[in-house]
Structure 1
């Protein structure tokens, strides 16, 4: 009799789980953003949340869980119930954290279900207003002449500006003096004030300063120029002499490992619909971002892309010798 009841209970639980998947979502979905409100990733996540409301048929809530270069928020999602109601929007840090942090409470991508990439965000190389160099060729000569005297600002360990700066130094085969800050705002303030020399920062943050002629722009980090008025004359760094230089900050959507396949399929379908939303596309393009439309919208391709990026950045970080405890 006990065996019979266990069988019946098991069938009931399986039926309940199937019903839950069929009804998903029947309550609000939360997207964890592992960075502060008002920043680029937060803005992207909020725009995505708005575009997801219609295909999901539910409210999508943003939860900013910040700290340790985005790893606290990522860990929160890795530990969350695998039911599709707690998701993560994070950037390239998903691929770089394993190399940057000696102790992570989660594995990438093993502890997550990849749902698809959202966008790609190129950065721009900018300099203080008083810098003598007026173009990239002159800047390259100036860097060669000054070496470690050159101060290269970044917004903190694992930030887009930090990673781009590492790749820039690697491409030039030189070493500059890194100046880390606790965020983009103070780094940009000191660059405008001339306390530091250079910074490699996401276009979304740099364009207002370029438009106001508060900083000099030397190049774009993607392989394509950006169709923004402030950058109409700015070449790519590849065009300017760093052949094939390509550093873009990408954002992806993730769920906890073990989320049911039926739920993952619904979330991926909703993401694909959201990324076709004209209003979302308009907002992304206004920020200099490109919405992903290629195979990386497929969960398996997204996972493969993260693994490739993880390998790529591990070498750059190892060569630079920059880690966090």
Structure 2
């Protein structure tokens, strides 16, 4: 049986209850805030990713110290170090035409602290040329194009030919007798020679060497007819009058040899055999880190002093986004794969 509350009693109880309830609610809310305070204070720190780089960065150059790739890697590393305030260490990991160093980076932790300087051959040629390559292009993430390096077709200065047209005429008259040197099968110098044979419909004899120095020595000595050489290697001999340049294998003339026409100008409009070097990271490296690195590289390559230094090596500073580098790799891979298949190029 319910006990009725008289209206006058009910009216007296309500005002007394409300303040009590409000005080209890306030105490509960304050207790909850106090209990959660440590978590709330930590939340902003948890939301922010750790600063990059927070420790030294390593750039692996897959060739011996002292060469153009090494000079480029160290120059870029110094620039990134200045921009980030963090040390950048350059490690030379030579062997197997660059394969050992590139593979080491492909298998490194994808945290942005191990990077590779990767030449065109190791990312756009060798995957087709070497079926058993220990890494795949997909194992590496594009960061930025670092620089391009011009190649020039040279002959011994004692050779009677004075132009590309004369050289090709002689090659047509003596199929297979004229030879071209390269620092190794599958090198850019080798592929350029094969491309010339395809475009000019001539037959040349490829003579591979173990490195640029012995190849250049035999061209200078006249044991081999010609060679596509990087400008940095050929220029001293050209200036000394020991080699004659017949054509630059780039889309435009070289600033250091402005009077030498490109091969494209001499009847082969699509001919181009440009060496280039890119900065790459292990696949899976966070996109934000890749973006930061790309921006740092762009800033470094914009420096006028660095551009002048690269120019002395026959290089031109590049730059660009990871997406642009990915597109270049895709196009170059398809182009050189076509040359490799048409010329049936293999590595013993």
TM-score where L is the length of structure 1: 0.89
Q: Indicate which of 304, 308, 312 corresponds to 2:335.
A: 312
Q: Indicate which of 166, 180, 199 corresponds to 1:138.
A: 166
Deviation at 1:265, TM superposition (A): 2.0
- Whole-Å separation in 1 of the counterparts to 2:293 and 2:304: 19
Residue 115 in 1 paired to residue 143 in 2? yes
- Whole-Å separation in 1 of the counterparts to 2:258 and 2:322: 35
Higher relative contact order (Cα pairs below 8 Å, separated by 6+ residues): 1
Residue 161 in 1 paired to residue 189 in 2? yes
SS at 2:334's partner residue? helix
SS at 1:207's partner residue? helix
SS at 2:228's partner residue? strand
- Whole-Å separation in 2 of the counterparts to 1:91 and 1:56: 25
TM-score where L is the length of structure 2: 0.83
SS at 2:242's partner residue? coil
SS at 1:49's partner residue? helix
CA RMSD between the two structures: 1.7
Deviation at 1:286, TM superposition (A): 2.4
Contact 1:86/1:255 (CA < 8 Å) preserved in 2? yes
Contact 1:151/1:196 (CA < 8 Å) preserved in 2? yes
SS at 2:109's partner residue? coil
Residue 292 in 1 paired to residue 318 in 2? yes
Contact 1:219/1:235 (CA < 8 Å) preserved in 2? yes
Residue 52 in 1 paired to residue 75 in 2? no
Alignment of 1:179-218 (within 5 A): 179-218=207-246
SS at 2:165's partner residue? helix
Contact 1:35/1:41 (CA < 8 Å) preserved in 2? yes
Unaligned 5+ runs, structure 1: 1-11
SS at 1:54's partner residue? helix
Alignment deviations for residues 131-168 of structure 1 (CA, whole Å, 9 cap, x no partner): 11011221111111122111110001232212222222
Alignment deviations for residues 49-80 of structure 1 (CA, whole Å, 9 cap, x no partner): 12222112222211111222211111110000
Alignment deviations for residues 7-35 of structure 1 (CA, whole Å, 9 cap, x no partner): xxxxx9xx88x76x532212221111112
Kindly report structure 1 stretches of 4+ aligned residues shifted beyond 6 Å: none
Alignment deviations for residues 296-319 of structure 1 (CA, whole Å, 9 cap, x no partner): x11112112111111111010111
SS at 2:203's partner residue? coil
Q: Indicate which of 81, 97, 100 corresponds to 2:129.
A: 100
Paired residue for 1:4? Answer: none
Paired residues, number: 304
Deviation at 1:292, TM superposition (A): 1.7
- Whole-Å separation in 2 of the counterparts to 1:91 and 1:105: 16
Alignment deviations for residues 162-192 of structure 1 (CA, whole Å, 9 cap, x no partner): 2222222222122211111111011001111
Alignment of 1:224-303 (within 5 A): 224-228=252-256, 231-293=257-319, 297-303=320-326
Unaligned 5+ runs, structure 2: 1-41
- Whole-Å separation in 1 of the counterparts to 2:308 and 2:114: 27
Alignment deviations for residues 264-295 of structure 1 (CA, whole Å, 9 cap, x no partner): 122112111111122211112222322225xx
Instruction: Flag the structure with larger Rg.
Output: 2
SS at 2:175's partner residue? helix
Contact 1:69/1:157 (CA < 8 Å) preserved in 2? no
- Whole-Å separation in 2 of the counterparts to 1:168 and 1:145: 16
